[in-house]
Amino acid sequence: MKPDAMINGVSMLSLGWLREIVNFPTPQSQSNTITVPGRNSPIRFTEALGRVAYQPRSFDMTFSMLGDRVNFDTLVSAVVNRFAGQLCRVTLTEDPTMYAVGTLEAAPSYDPLTGKGALELSCIDGDAFLYHTEETVVSFSGSGTVILGNDYMPVVPVITATAETTLRWAIDGESFHKTVSAGTWEIPELELRHGDNTVSVTGEGTTTFTYRQGRL
């Protein structure tokens, strides 16, 4: 299989472009330090809010084609009019289960001596985390304990209850509980961490947890 990139579900290969170079570096943390006279170590604010925050993800992809200038301009137009300056979802064939989100900018170039055209698509404002293509949906009927597995990105699930339901859970040693009526809810305190998250459910209806996982 030839390497490809899907942008908003559209294959660049199907548009006539061969993928050559892909650069998806890991986003850097939002770090801030203060040097205090008399201290040997700076004060670090990287985890000031209790977790590490990350700068926007930057990435770029280079595509090529062979042909005359008219064909090159046609292929460039097909991409630029669809994606340039647009917030897009980008998926690579190497890992179709994940996608990146960011605004794409286009930089085309053409060499008339070789008849080779190139198109660079770059992003400097991408979301720091890569997202799972498929949402995670966990349904639980009645009362009991449900395990919600999560990747490294913290996420708050959308909860749909068909009857009045009480939820109980613990985070960092602190216990929480919340009773919700039938409907759809988001509870900010119910933030899923990496690994298995245990939630106790008390009710007679069906409780569904829906969330999208992510990782760096």
pTM here is 0.85
Q: Residue 2 — pLDDT band, cuts 50, 70, 90?
A: confident
Percent of the chain with pLDDT over 90: 81
Domains in the chain with CATH codes: 5-132 (2.40.30.200), 136-215 (2.60.120.260)
Strand duo 18-23 + 33-34: pairing: unpaired
Backbone phi, then psi, for 14, in 5-degree steps?
Answer: -70, -20
- Kindly write down the DSSP assignment for every residue of 139-160, as one continuous string: EEESSEEEEEEE-SS-BPPEEE
Phi-psi region of 183 (alpha: psi -120 to 50; beta: other; left: phi over 0): left
> What pLDDT digit, counting tens, does each position of 78-120 carry?
999 999 999 999 999 999 999 999 999 999 999 999 999 999 9
Q: What sign results for the dihedral spanned by CA atoms 121, 125, 131, 135?
A: negative
Residue 44 clears pLDDT 70, i.e. is over it: no
